Every structure is written in C-alpha cells, then in structure tokens.
Structure 1
Amino acid sequence: MAGNHSDPSGPDLALGIALTDLPDGGKLVGHRDGEPVLLVRRGAEIFAVAATCSHYGGPLVDGLVADDSVRCPWHHACFDLRTGGALRAPALSPLACWSVEQRGGKIFVGEKRKNPSPAPRQGDAGPPPEKIVLIGGGAAGFAAAERLRREQYQGAIVMISDDEAPPVDRPNLSKDYLAGKAPEDWIPLRKEAFYAKNNIDLRLGTKVAGIDVRAREVVLADGEKVSFDKLLLATGAEPVRLTIPGADQPHVRTLRSLADSRSIIAQSSAARSAVVLGASFIGLEVAASLRTRGIEVHVVAPEERPMERVLGPQMGDFIRALHEKNGVIFHLKDTAASIGANDVVLTSGSTLAADLVVAGIGVRPRINLAEAAGLATDRGVLVDAYLETSVPGIYAAGDIARWPDPHSGENIRVEHWVVAERQGAAAALNMLGHRTKFTDVPFFWSQHYDIPINYVGHAEGWDTIEVEGDIAAKDCLLRFKRGGRVLAVATIFRDTESLQAELAMEQGKA
C-alpha cells in the first residue's frame, strides 16, 4: 500500500551536488529536510519531486521519464515533473515538489513548493453543467468525482452507490488486505471527510431503478428523482453466481466488495480448509492470501492451466508451479457439482473438505440500467472515443464500457482497475466539455505471494508468444503477437521494460 518514508539516503540536497553528478536524462535520489527527493535532469532543466509514488510507494528512481513526466515502475502511475500533479491512475494524489537552483556548477534543492491548482484548459465547449450525477461508487465513479473537483468544477456532484462502504481500493481486497498484511485504514480511497469537504453528495446503499433519458432524471428505488445535466454510468461488474446445490450456504462467498472481503477474513479465522472455484486472477489471489493465513487451499477449475486464456501456456504453467510450491492443490479440468456443509463434491466424483468456499468464476458487466434506458449495448455499453454513449450527455466508464481502442483497432471492454480509474477521469474532463479522447493503453497487475505480474496492452487472441528471459527464474518478458504486431506484453520483475512497452504502444511503435 502507501509507501513509508525510510531513513534518508543519498546526498543532502540542501547542501548541493555537482552538476556533473546528474547527467542529462539522469535520475538521482537524495533528501531535503529528511524527506527523500528525486532529482531528474532534462537538458538544462532540473526537477525535484518526492522520490516515492503516492499510490503504493514505488521507487520513482526506477521508473521511466518521458517528456516532462515520470512513470512509476510498479503500477504505471504517471506524474508531472513540473507540478507533481498525478497525471494518471492508479495515483490520485500529487507528488511534493521543491524549488531547484543552479549556481557555481552545483545543484541546490530549496524549499518545498505549494502544489499549484490546475491551469484552465483551452477549448471548453460552453459553460460547465450545473449538475453531474455519477452512478457507481467504484474506481470509475470515484475517479470521476475526484477529477471534477481537481479541475475546479463548482457545480453539484451526486454519487449514487449501492455499496454500503465509500469507494475502496478494490485490488487490495484480494491481495494484502485479505492476506492480513494491510490494515483496514489503507482500504478507503479517501476518508469520509473528503466527500463533505469537496461537496460531493455521496449516497451509499442506494439503488437506482431507472434512467429517464427524456426528463434527464435518475429514478431511485424509493421513487426519488435526481435530475442531471451530465450523467456517468459506472456501475461496474458483478460476480457470476454459482447455481449448483448448496451454493446459497453462508460459508460460500464471492469477492467484490469490502463486505465480501471482511466476511472471508472472518470465516477464515476458524477455517482449516478452503476450496476456491475458478483459477482466475481473483481466484488465485484469494488462494495465495488464504495460504498466507495458513489455510489448506484447493483450487478447482475447468481449464487445463490457470490463466492460460490471458497469459498463455508458459505463464500458466509457471503460475501453477508457483502456487503448488506454496502449498495450493489444483484440481484442473474439473468443476464443483455440489457443496455440502463442510465439503465440495466435484463432477469427477472427488470430495474435498471445505470450511470455506470462494467462487471466482467470472463477472458480468452491470448493463441493465443502460439497456432499459435505450442506450446502445453490445456485451457492454457502447461509447465513442470520448466515452459518450449513444445518448448525448450520458457517459460510461469502467467495466461496463466498450470503447474504440486505437491501439488494437477494435472495440474492447476490459475489467481492469487502472483502466476504470483512467476512464473515470477522462469522462470527467469530457463532461466538462474538454473533448479528450481516451487513448490510454490498458494495464493491470496481479500479485501472487511475492511475485508481481504486470501486463500492458490487450490481446484477446494471438498467434505467437515470444518469451524473453526465463519465466521459471522470475525474470521474463512475454510478447503476445498477432500478424507480427505486439498486442500485449507481460513481465515479471522487468518493470522498466514494461513501462517502455507501454510507451511504445502509446506512440504506435509496437
């Protein structure tokens, strides 16, 4: 989660360093008043910003500098070197910045600067909307609200969420939080006071019954009508539910919300054995977290290899071996037939002891509201390059949005946290009339024990997988290619190359 300030390392930048110690294009970490500071030189300009990413504390000295920005090696957050501003999710908070002075062939870091307000954007299309309504309290909805206020939008914001908890850091629910390594105060994306302070009308536990497109109103389940000038649909996805006998028992869980994660944690305290149904990212992250808690874990899935559909056979074999090394027992090419009070019967006839069952068999986009309102849909809500739906003034972002991806040339829908956050921010700009195309390259990360897997791009199918390095040695880069073109890149412990692949895709050089 968020990084901690370690003991200052490197030179005291208040005392200065020689200009020759920081060559053009170079990065150097020192400290000022006990805080780690990253120096970056680009030609005659030298920038001084906080040395760790504001997301999970990644070391920015190991990141990638492109134009006047620096990208985090861990989860591809991006920051403006001039202002410290968070340009791209998953970071939402800016970096601290310091003044820099050059004299006598030396570089001196001065006082910390105040983070400036965003400069007014050019090309606005008319006056801003008086009222914006956001349906959904996940990554996209929160990022939209946060960006609207960051852009100095003064109108009304209503965020309607059927969750009982304020927006949370969902990736952590299956990773460190579930494993018992992250305290709960790390989980909210912002403290509750943030919403009041920023005049965001956050309505939790509130269900939407429908959208009246002509009247420009959202109709709530209790009959209340909420008018809007611009509307963002960010309803996300919901877990596919088991339909086999015994699926409705209290020890059978799915994982989507903070409440779900809390329930699994509570039940795991007395559980000796668990069965995870599904070898997806969520399923295997849950398996790793439960193993960390000392619980015997069996994974049941119909495929031949875990995650082969996304990462290919070589990475699938590695992931299976990694989990088996940590004690997970796989039952592949098999499914659950029924669930008892303390066991799971498989279609193969085997019976597995199970004090806890977690189903991770996929999710479905929640597009019912969009369909009922007459918005164009196709296995998701269809949007244009500006994330606007077929109804002007209504936008969609996150797991439900199917958008024209300029990198693959296809209409795609992905279920990645970072994509949802970035789309929420882009939709916010477009609801304010800035006409900003969404062109970001999809990115996600997955954590299995101490092994991170980073993935940039989008490859629903490929004809070649090029493996560079050694997967078993946890030092590799995989290129997923179709017709000679790189569609996606997966890496283990090759963070710089992952960032370089992302930049190449953005520049059309893949």
Structure 2
Amino acid sequence: MAEQDAKPSGPDLSQGVAFADLADGSLLLGHVGDEQVMVARQGTELFAVGAHCSHYHGPLAEGLLVGDTVRCPWHHACFSLRSGEALAAPAFSAIDCWSVEQRDGKIFVKEKRPAAAKPSSKLSGKALDKVVIVGGGAAGFAAAEMLRREQYKGSIVMLSNDDAAPVDRPNLSKDYLAGNAPEEWVPMRGDDFYSENGIELRLKANVASIDARAHEVVLSDGTKVDYDRLLLATGAEPVRLPVPGAGPSQIHTLRSLADSRAIIERAKSAKRALVIGASFIGLEVAASLRHRGIEVHVVAPEKRPMERILGPGMGDFVRALHEEHGVVFHLEDTVAGIAGSKATLKSGGSLETDLVVMGVGVRPRLELAEKAGLRIDRGLAVDAFLATSAPDIYAAGDIARWPDPHSGQAIRVEHWAVAERQGQVAAQNMLGLRQKFDAVPFFWSQHYDVPINYVGHAEKWDELLVDGDIAGRDCLVRYKQGGRTLAAASIYRDVASLQEEVAMERQAA
C-alpha cells in the first residue's frame, strides 16, 4: 500500500488550467491545497475527484476513463465520477468529489462536495427483514457492506468459522507474509465497522446444516438462525496431499490469518524452506520467504510454473524471475516423504528443510450446499443473478459456478476480486434489484516487484499472441479461441489490461 505523497504534484487546479490542455477522454492529475485531485473530461462534461483509489491508493490518473467512471490501473476497482462511489471491488470506500467549473477558457476546481446519501433500494417480491451470510471471506464481507450501502435496514447475521474478522487475504501471502505490512493492514475493516453498521458477526460459528424449506440455518451447537434471504459464501479450503512421514502440523497451508501467522512464526528461526506446489499462492509464499532471507526450494510436478494458466512464455518468465531471487526449482518431481527435517523426492534426491508450505490449490466447500439438496455442477450452480436452485438462497465466491457471458459457458473461478464483486451483486439481488453478474473475471499476483494482471477466463486456447517482451517485463499476452480473445495477462501494461477488460465487456454485450 502506497503512502500519501508528501507534497502534492501537478498544477494547482484552484488557480485553473487551460481547457484546451485537457483532451476529450483524458485525465489530469493536480491538486487543491495539499490534496491531490484528478480532473476528467468526457466530451463537454468535466469531473473532479480524489486522485487515489481507496483500495491500495493506486494512481487513478494513470487509469482508464470509461463513460462517467474511472478504473484503477492496479486492481481494476471502478468509481463513479459523479458521486465518487466505489462501483466495483476491490475498492469499497468512495473517493471525494469536487465542484468544477469552466470559464474564460480555463478549468477551475472549487470546493469539495459533501458526500451524497444513497437512496434506499426499493424491494420487490417477498418481505426482507433477515439476511444470513454463511462465510466470513471476501464474498461475505462484500455482501454485508453492500446491503448497508443500499440502505437495507433489516438484520444481517454473518456466520464465520474463522477466529478472525474478514481479512484482506491477498496480503497474507504477499506484503504481510514478507514482513512489509503490519497486521493492522490485514483486516478488511476494523471491529467497529460491524457494530456501527449493525452487522452481527459471529466468529468460530460452525454451520451444520441448512433447512431450505424452513428457512433456517442450524449451527453445530444446535442453535437455529432463521432467514428471509441466505447467502452461501463458504469459500474454499487448501488441498492437502498426503506426504508419508509428515507430522500433522509439520506441513503448513495458507488460507487464513492464523495460517499466515503460523508461517511467520516458524520463519523467524527457519533457514531453509520447502514449498510444495508452483501455484500462484505457492510462488507468492516463496517470494515472501526469500524476502525474509530464507533459502527456498520449490517442488512441483509440472514442467513450467503456471503454464496451464499463463502459457509457456509467461511460465518460463515466472521461473526465471524466482531463480533471479535465489529460488531453486525441482520441477517434474514430487515429495515422496518427510522424515524429520529431511524431505525425500520421487526422483531420488533429498532436501533439508526447517519449514514446509503446501500450495497445490484449493477445493470449494460444498458440503452444506450438497446436504441442503442444492444443485451441484462442478461447484454450486447459480443463475445469472447468483440464485441457487432453492428459493431465497444465493451463492457467491469460490463455490459459485455461474453462466459467464464472456466465455459462453458456466465457470467457477477462485479470484479474490470476483468473490467480492459477486458478493456485491448477490446483495443487490437479495434486495430485489435484479442485477445480472456479468463482470469480466480479474486477478492479480505479485512476485517480488513484478505484478501480473489477468483479465478474462481461458481454460484452453488455440492461439496465444504476445504484444511486447515478456522477459523485458513489458507485455500483454492474449489467449484466444476461435479468433476470440478469452483472457489477457499483462506485466506493466496497466492501461492495456483495462482496455482488454472493457473490450471483453463490450464483446459480450
């Protein structure tokens, strides 16, 4: 997360800038007093808003203007230029809006405008007084926040089997694990957010079953919680492959704040680490442990890291990047067993290790949905409005398999921003707003100082086009099937990534 600039940059917008200097469809960074402000021009219309994304403080003036919205170049959050509202996660908080006027051939930014209250949603259909959310991750938090943002006044009960309030999970394998971010950065919101917004957050709450007919959620202690609308956002859990000889607590996985804390504690005395799996999470862990000065070996069965998702060129780049930072790969190999501090490989070699982390993927938590008789299809099947096969039950996040208008098929993805955006749309639909979930999937990954952004969804492709230089860390890679771009990965091509996202949206419209 970037810090606020010590001194504001750009022109003093209160003194005016020439209208002719701001081309149609462009963005201009300036300041009013000590505050950074961005001016946007769309035709003859002018807007002035806060210059930084409310998510990780990304520079909005380096983003993309789309209609009367602006998109952040870092993680594709979207803001209304008219109200400042955060229209799409991963940002939730609005940005400031300023009064702006044009006179004498110049643009002047005046005073900051007061935040506009959002009108209450007009509910349609059945009465809605009680919403229950099962899950305390990205989708669950986003749904609760959106319900209150839409001025829903009824009760919200969030049931989480975690012992911590919703956290910014991407940080757990990146800056927080690397030691670059304090723990106070990790929660999505402070504890007072839930009490101030009337959200009853029950931690360590294990849901045993759902009675869809009675509209009841039953906890493991027998407590029953009734609902008018229910959101299932149970997420996923790390896959644990059996490793002969390994003790039950010897191999770490990373999903929760407690998991990250445990790895950090073990890393304090570790000199050598073994990462099982060359997934995004596995390699982000490898990068974070290298930042801590720990020797890292990665063992994985594939020929190239992440080739199935990113293709051979990007896979080779990711491997080379990690090797530049001292990571040692043992590819096309697996761990055959662990005895004490020695890991034996299937190839016959062995590795000494003080810390073992497994990152080989996750599986959706579908048990509750299956027991409740909901339709399962390689995930929990939902329609375009994220409704399940049972009345008044919705689903969002890693468990949901939805009809994706961009790929033309039902898909399930495990991306943080997707889970948040689905939680937001599910909340709106529980309120009767009938919003289709049609967002283009997006995720980002960070390896040392190199970000990789990915928009779209391509399970396979017949053509891979590279614009730029992958090894030179300046590229956009398109994954195409039948001449249609299904996904695009990029390195330091932030605006191009946003443009690909918009193109995919328009292609499906």
**Corresponding residue of 1:448:** 447
1:52-451 maps to which residues of 2 (within 5 A)? 52-120=52-120, 124-126=123-125, 128-451=127-450
Cα offset, 1:207, TM superposition: 0.3
How has the CA–CA distance of structure 1 residues 390 and 509 changed in structure 2, closer, same or farther, with 3 Å as cutoff? closer
**Corresponding residue of 1:39:** 39
Cα offset, 1:3, TM superposition: 4.5
The alignment's TM-score, normalised by the length of structure 1, stands at 0.98
Q: Distance in 2 between matches of 1:484 and 1:108?
A: 47
Q: Report if aligned partners of 1:3, 1:52 keep a CA contact under 8 Å in 2.
A: no
Q: Distance in 2 between matches of 1:128 and 1:14?
A: 49
Q: Report if aligned partners of 2:136, 2:165 keep a CA contact under 8 Å in 1.
A: yes
Partner deviation per Cα, 1:77-136 (whole Å, 9 max, x = no partner): 0000011000000111111111112222222211111221224556x4236511000000
Q: Report if aligned partners of 1:211, 1:218 keep a CA contact under 8 Å in 2.
A: yes
**Corresponding residue of 1:477:** 476
Provide the aligned C-alpha RMSD in A: 1.3
**Corresponding residue of 2:497:** 498
Q: Report if aligned partners of 1:62, 1:73 keep a CA contact under 8 Å in 2.
A: yes
Q: Report if aligned partners of 1:3, 1:58 keep a CA contact under 8 Å in 2.
A: no
Partner deviation per Cα, 1:290-309 (whole Å, 9 max, x = no partner): 00000000000000000001
- Aligned amino acid, residue 392 of structure 1: P
Partner deviation per Cα, 1:282-336 (whole Å, 9 max, x = no partner): 0000000000000000000000000001001111011001100110000001111
Cα offset, 1:237, TM superposition: 0.2
What secondary structure sits across from 1:126 in the alignment? coil
Cα offset, 1:222, TM superposition: 0.6
What secondary structure sits across from 1:14 in the alignment? helix
Cα offset, 1:347, TM superposition: 1.1
Q: Distance in 2 between matches of 1:19 and 1:483?
A: 45
Q: Distance in 2 between matches of 1:114 and 1:340?
A: 64
Cα offset, 1:459, TM superposition: 0.4
Q: Distance in 2 between matches of 1:437 and 1:248?
A: 47
**Corresponding residue of 2:13:** 13
What secondary structure sits across from 1:468 in the alignment? strand
Partner deviation per Cα, 1:9-41 (whole Å, 9 max, x = no partner): 111112222222222222111111201000001
Tell which deviates more after alignment, 77-86 or 4-13: 4-13
Cα offset, 1:394, TM superposition: 0.2
Q: Report if aligned partners of 2:28, 2:61 keep a CA contact under 8 Å in 1.
A: yes
Tell which deviates more after alignment, 101-110 or 35-44: 101-110
Structure 1: runs of 5 or more not aligned: none
- Aligned amino acid, residue 85 of structure 2: G
Q: Distance in 2 between matches of 1:80 and 1:391?
A: 34
Partner deviation per Cα, 1:170-213 (whole Å, 9 max, x = no partner): 00100111111111111100000000000000000110000011
Aligned length: 509
Tell which deviates more after alignment, 248-257 or 486-495: 248-257
What secondary structure sits across from 1:507 in the alignment? helix
Q: Report if aligned partners of 1:407, 1:508 keep a CA contact under 8 Å in 2.
A: yes
Structure 2: runs of 5 or more not aligned: none
What secondary structure sits across from 1:334 in the alignment? coil
Q: Report if aligned partners of 2:290, 2:296 keep a CA contact under 8 Å in 1.
A: yes
Q: Report if aligned partners of 1:3, 1:54 keep a CA contact under 8 Å in 2.
A: no
Partner deviation per Cα, 1:345-394 (whole Å, 9 max, x = no partner): 11111110110000001110000000000000012100000000000110
Q: Distance in 2 between matches of 1:10 and 1:264?
A: 43
What secondary structure sits across from 2:70 in the alignment? strand
What secondary structure sits across from 2:507 in the alignment? coil
Q: Report if aligned partners of 1:251, 1:355 keep a CA contact under 8 Å in 2.
A: no
Give percent identity, aligned residues only: 66
What secondary structure sits across from 1:357 in the alignment? strand
Q: Report if aligned partners of 1:443, 1:454 keep a CA contact under 8 Å in 2.
A: yes
Q: Distance in 2 between matches of 1:369 and 1:431?
A: 20
How has the CA–CA distance of structure 1 residues 2 and 158 changed in structure 2, closer, same or farther, with 3 Å as cutoff? farther
Partner deviation per Cα, 1:386-409 (whole Å, 9 max, x = no partner): 000000110000000000000111
Q: Distance in 1 between matches of 2:421 and 2:3?
A: 22
Q: Report if aligned partners of 2:120, 2:152 keep a CA contact under 8 Å in 1.
A: no
